[in-house]
Structures are given as structure tokens and as C-alpha cells.
Amino acid sequence: MALSWVNVVRSDGAGEGEPVYVDANYVDAAGVVGKPFKTETGEQTFETLDSHQKPDWRKVQTIDRSRTNRKKTPVVVVLEPVEPEGIP
């Protein structure tokens, strides 16, 4: 698969510098909130983890490769809060 630049942000504007994990790979962070990084194209799940190592912010988004995709013009991924377990 091709790689594309993304910039992951949180919907509340906070979390700058928090590690971002892609597709449940919680061993190696793919990047950090607020800084562009490269990831695979296609459908990806972006997450940050809380202090108990459980996802607290998440976004599933399809990343397409375009001719204008560069570090200076990344695809923006906006994370939303994860609902606590057991609460719909």
C-alpha cells in the first residue's frame, strides 16, 4: 500500500504530543497528536490511550492518496472521545 501524510488532532483541541496508535498496534506509536506523520492508505483506526492503556479517543477514517498530499498538506484526522465501556 502507498503511504500518505496525516495530521491527527482531537475534537477538543487538546492532547498535543500524545502518542497515536493505528489499527490497534499499541506497541509502536505511529505518531503524535498535532504533528504530521505517514501512514498506510485505506481504512485506518487512529487512537490514543488513557492511563490504563485503553482507547480514550478514536477515529476510523479512510485515507486516500492524492497528488497534493505532503507533510505541509496532510489529511486531517479528528479524533472523537470513546464511550466508556458499558455506556451506549
Burial of 16 per CB tally in 10 Å (0-12, 13-18, 19+):
exposed
Phi first, then psi: give them for residue 71, nearest 5 degrees: -60, -35
What whole-number distance in Å separates Cα of residue 33 and Cα of residue 43?
19
Per-residue pLDDT of the chain (88 residues; tens, 9 = 90+): 689 999 999 999 999 999 999 999 999 999 999 999 999 999 999 999 999 999 999 999 999 988 899 999 999 999 999 987 655 5
Domain ranges of the chain: 3-60+67-76
For residue 84, the model assigns a pLDDT of 75
15 grid coordinates: 492532547
87 grid coordinates: 455506556
5 grid coordinates: 501524510
Total-model pTM: 0.91
